[in-house]
Structures are given as C-alpha cells and as structure tokens.
Structure 1
Amino acid sequence: MKKGKMILASVYLMVLSSCGGNSSDTMFGDIPSAYEEKMINWVKDMQQLNTDDKKSEALALLADFTKEMEELQKEMEVRAEKMKGQTIEYTIEEGLPYQLVSDIQVDEVELPKLGVIGGRDSGMRLKVKFSVVLAEVSEEASLRLYYLLTGDEGNVGYGTFSISQKVTVGDTLHLEKMIYAPDVPAQYQESCRSLAFVSEEVFESERKVIREKQKEWTDARKKELGLKKE
C-alpha cells in the first residue's frame, strides 16, 4: 500500500508539469506528451470515483495504471535509444571565460521515474558530452557554466554545469553533464531546441522570469484538473 501511495503522489506531481504538445525533433522529443496522455486519463478516472468503496476502486485503477505505465516505459525506451548521438544546438554569450569547441552530443536518455516523488530525478534527463576551452580562470575554486533552455516558447528552463577540477587558461575540458527537463508543462518541455550559455548576471535575471512563468503554468494546470479553488 505504501508503494501505491508513492506512485499516486508522484503521478499527481508529474501531471502538474505535463500538458499537451508534440514535437519529436526537439531536445526532449515527444516523450513528455506520451506520459501525459496516460497520466491525465488516470487522474480523471480517479476524480470520477463515486462509489461507496472508493478505496477498493482506487487501488484497482492504480494497478491498471501501473501496468499501463510499465508498458509505456518499454515503448519510450525504444524512442530514447534513437535519441542517442543526436546533437543539441547552442548559442554562447560574448565575453564568457570559456568557449565550446565541440558539438553537444546526447550520450544517454533517462526517462521519468514514477517511484521518485518530486525533485529533478522524477523528470526526463539527458546525459550529454561536449568540450570547452578556458579563456580565463576564476580565483574561485570552481567554474560554473550557466545556461537557459530555450526554443519556440522562449526561455522555459535553466541550469548550470559545475567544473571543480583545477584548470589553467587554454585547457581543453571534455565534459559529461546532465540536462534536466524543466519542471513545466510538456508543451514547453517539447519546445526546447537549444541551450543558451549566458553570464551569471543574465542567468539570475532570466531565472526570476522563468520561475514566475512556471508558477503561472502550474497554477493553471491545477485549476484545469480541479485541484485549485477559485
């Protein structure tokens, strides 16, 4: 029963950050929407329970949903495999202390985990490889690469890559990093086409705007599902 509750909670969280869209040639492909259809149908079924034995009905629906999601996971693994080796477009702001000197290539695709409640590991992730050359070295112990996830809907997410090893000017670093799908509805996840590497100042400014948009999208999603009162 405890496991069932964990799946139930994680599904609701994923539904709130999943909504429509279909764009198989973007950064995260059309995988988010594939999960969305199953999850929305299940939530609606749960909301329509109107019997005296709701607990029993809910457990039956949960069992069916879990089986469907296991089947979907297998189908999505095939799609994820096809995404390996693809390259991600990027832009880079002038004046940053590094330059990219290779493509950003997708090495692994990790699918959403229903057993994880919230957090970055509950969403889709891309393990990528790329190389940078350092133009200058900070006095700080680590170098941080700031980026925005951008595309058809503008900037919808953000992240950082940290480099903690000792470096000198001119060093070429071969990096393996993880890009996390932003915690936004699927239509925005699927709009992501590129990374925009920016300064810390631009990053902090844009992050505030993105967070405000994410809250609006989440509130709208809750209202649509009847989880938020007027």
Structure 2
Amino acid sequence: MYMRVLGTTACSIVALILSSCGGSTSSSEGMLGEIPAYYEKQGLDFCAQVSEIGKASGYSQDQETVEKVVKLAMDLSEKSKEEGKTLADKLIGKVVSYQETEGLPYKVVSDVTITDIELPSFTFNSFMFDELKVELKYQVVATEDISERYLFTYCFITDTEGNNLDCASFTGKAEGNPIAAGDTVTVADAIKIAMVSADVLNKFHTLKFVSEATYEEQRETINKQMEQWIKEYETKMTPEEKQ
C-alpha cells in the first residue's frame, strides 16, 4: 500500500540519499530542552543507515532497496513520536526567561510558561522532520487603552547574549469590552519553530518583548537569517547524489 502512495517520491529521494552523510551535534539546555539534539541525531542516524543500504545494494534504486528505505523511514517516524513525547513532557510547565523593552502598551505580570509541545513530524516527501510547535501562556496588564478586544505582543527569541534568533507574535483576547488601561489579559498562543541545526536551536533562551515598530523593523532580517539556517540544515540532511 505505502509503495503505491510513496513509490515515485521515494525513488527520487533515494537517488539523492544513497550516499554517505556526516555531521555532529552537541546538546545544551535551552528553551527547547533536549528536543533539538534528539531530532538532529535521528536525522543523521537515518542518513547513515540509508547510506549502508545504498552501499549494500550497489546504490540500486530497485523496488527492494526503496522498500528498505521507506520502512526505515516509517520506523523512525513511529520511534520519534514515542521518544520525542518523553522529551516534550519534560518541558510542560517550564518557565521561559523573558525581557521587556521600552514602549510597550502592556506589562507582563506572570511567568511565561510552556503549556504544550507539538513535536515535529517525519515527512515522507523530503525524509526530514518539519517544524516544532511550542504553546506559551502568560498574563499582561494593559498600560494604555487598546480600543480593541485583541492585544498583540511581539517578541524576538534571543540567546543568552541577546542576539536575535527568531521572532513571533502572540495574541491575547479580552472577554467582552475592548481592552482598557489596567485590564489583565491572558495570552495563550503558539510559536512554530523550523527544525534547523541543534547548534542554533539550543541557543533559544529568552523571549524579548518589543514594540510593534521594532518588530517590523527587524523581522525581515531575522527571517532571512532563519531561511539561511534552514537551507544549511537541508544540505546537512540531504547528501549529494553519488557520482
């Protein structure tokens, strides 16, 4: 059944991954815990095992070889769901470090906590893990009239030295009337994080709350850097076709 669905895609990707691949990663405790290092290791181990299948078959793309690669991918998908959940559970309730800058129309008045984790899925069109989804919750008090029922909080995700690594906006909703100065608003929203090198993701440490103007000024630069990290990660996880 899966060969009918994935056969064409699997053949094209097997042509690319039936060669050796390398790379290593180190683990460090950050906002995302052990998740980045775990998923990078799974991806690299997958490449190494596929390389062995390729060598053993003489880099054939016949049905038997493709079936072995697809089965390996399916096993990895199931394994990563089970083992990844254990790592995700450790992060539930974790308090995230944050910093507030000047010019905000609100004041953060609670801890910023992780309430849920949606783990990356192993995608069969690319044989790579997709994005990680982290749900956060915190409370803010409006310091001025918002005149709407929604309050938008804009953040940069920084390392311990204050370098911007990613960006996101989180929305809080008031019940009933538009938000006025002094109102407390609960923000419960999620950030989607691309699976890039663990060396990058392990540095995710602090939420830096910034004004909308600052966010818009720097968002493009931050996104371009993330796009570059994504390309580098895809290269790391996708070996060149054997010559």
Structure 2, gaps ≥5 residues long = 17-22
CA RMSD of the aligned region, Å?
A: 3.3
Structure 1 residues 222, 105: closer, same or farther in 2, change over 3 A? closer
Asked if residue 36 in structure 1 is aligned to residue 37 in structure 2, the reply is no
Aligned CA distance change for structure 1 residues 3 and 30 (closer, same or farther; 3 Å): farther
Give the structure-2-normalised TM-score: 0.75
Q: Partners of 2:145 and 2:125 in 1: how far apart?
A: 39
Contact 1:88/1:103, CA 8 A, preserved across alignment: yes
Contact persistence 1:124–1:181 (CA under 8 A): yes
Distance 1:81 1:94, change over 3 A: same
Aligned to 2:140: 132
Among 127, 144, 164, the alignment partner of 1:155 is: 164
Structure 1 match to 2:221: 209
Q: Deviations over 1:142-176 (max 9, x none)?
A: 43211011114721111001235431111101222
Report the Cα distance in structure 1 between the residues aligned to 2:223 and 2:184, rounded to whole angstroms. 34
Aligned ranges 1:38-77 → 2 under 5 Å: 38-46=42-50, 49=54, 50-77=58-85
Corresponding residue number in structure 1 for 2:230: 218
Q: Equivalent residue for 1:15?
A: none
CA displacement 1:60-111 (0-9 Å, x = unmatched): 1221232133223212211211221110000011121001000011122221
Structure 1 alignment gaps of length 5 or more: 13-17
Q: CA offsets per residue over residues 42-65 of structure 1, 9 Å max, x none?
A: 235546734444343122122123
- 1:64-103 equivalences under 5 Å are 64-103=72-111
CA positional deviation for 1:227: 5.3
Q: Report the Cα distance in structure 2 between the residues aligned to 1:146 and 1:80, rounded to whole angstroms.
A: 25
Q: Secondary structure at the match of 2:114?
A: strand
Q: How many residues align?
A: 219
- In 2: Cα distance, 1:116 partner to 1:160 partner: 30
Give 3-state SS (helix, strand or coil) of 2:154's partner. Answer: strand
